[in-house]
Amino acid sequence: MATLARSIPLPPPQPVRSPRQSLVLAWLPTFFWMGVIAFESTAVFTSEHTQGWLFRILTASLGFKFALTHTFLLNEYGRKIGHFTGYGILSFLSFFGWTQLLAYHKQMYLASLGKVVAMARRWHVRAAALSVLLTFAVAAADEFHQSFIPGRTATFRDVVLDTLGGIFAQILILLFWKAGMLRRSASAPAHQNAGTVTRA
């Protein structure tokens, strides 16, 4: 039996993800979304183009008269909502990149002191502030880029709108993070009692 057990091939051990790998993976979604924003900043997505696409969609679905009456306003509001939502997503994604980066720096500092500690990811205001600052910087760079593209316009109002989307995303993260902490703290006594009963 022992010989048979030793002859069974075992799966190779799973590699443990290094802190640096975790850091890179945490930032990949942010970089991907910045690429999406850069693509949307090209001449392909001018207001005239999106208005034409929307006009054809509305004509096919709701009729020519409705499309003729509502396309312009729907296009303008849709583009503003797109700004707010797109940069809110950027802020949301970058928050997890910043939390990973801050934890990584803390972990490396402790390692230099001879302490090997796995840092827990937590909400803190520095990561939220850095996410909003990154949102503002990308929005400003995007508007500056658009000033050189025919058919695109650069306005500071869009930078403000984009930044507000980033702030809104951070408020949502804080609210859901705190709600999760409250749920965990509420369930902690039950787990502790259950553990006490099991040990008894």
**Could you tell me which residues come within 8 angstroms of residue 195 by beta carbon, excluding any fewer than 6 positions away?**
none
Asked whether the beta carbons of 103 and 121 are under 8 A apart, the reply is: yes
pLDDT band at 119 (very low <50, low <70, confident <90, very high): low
Please state whether the predicted TM-score (pTM) of the whole model is above 0.85.
no
pLDDT band at 13 (very low <50, low <70, confident <90, very high): very low
Query: Could you give the angle at the alpha carbon of 110 between the alpha carbons of 107 and 115, nearest 5°?
Result: 110
Task: Give the separation between CA 45 and CA 48, rounded to whole angstroms.
Answer: 8
Give the number of domains in the chain.
1
17-46 confidence digits (pLDDT tens): 577 888 999 999 999 999 999 999 999 999
Asked whether residue 9 is domain-assigned, the answer is no
Asked whether residue 37 is domain-assigned, the answer is yes
Residue 72: pLDDT over 60: yes
Rg of the chain (C-alpha set): 25
Asked whether residue 193 is domain-assigned, the answer is no
Asked whether the beta carbons of 97 and 138 are under 8 A apart, the reply is: no
Asked whether residue 51 is domain-assigned, the answer is yes
CB under 8 Å, gap of 24 or more: what pairs does 29-32 form?
A: 29/93, 29/96, 29/97, 30/90, 30/93, 30/94, 30/97
pLDDT band at 120 (very low <50, low <70, confident <90, very high): low
Q: Over the chain, what is the mean pLDDT?
A: 84
Q: Could you tell me what percent of the chain has a pLDDT over 70? A: 82
Asked whether the beta carbons of 93 and 127 are under 8 A apart, the reply is: no
Structure tokens at 168: 């809104």
Task: Give the separation between CA 139 and CA 164, rounded to whole angstroms.
Answer: 11
Asked whether residue 196 is domain-assigned, the answer is no
Asked whether the beta carbons of 142 and 136 are under 8 A apart, the reply is: no
Asked whether residue 44 is domain-assigned, the answer is yes
Asked whether residue 8 is domain-assigned, the answer is no
Asked whether residue 6 is domain-assigned, the answer is no
Answer left, alpha or beta for residue 15, where phi above 0 means left and psi between -120 and 50 means alpha.
beta
Mean pLDDT score, 176-185: 79
Residue 8: pLDDT over 50: no
User: Whole domain around residue 102: which residue ranges?
Assistant: 32-178
pLDDT band at 14 (very low <50, low <70, confident <90, very high): very low
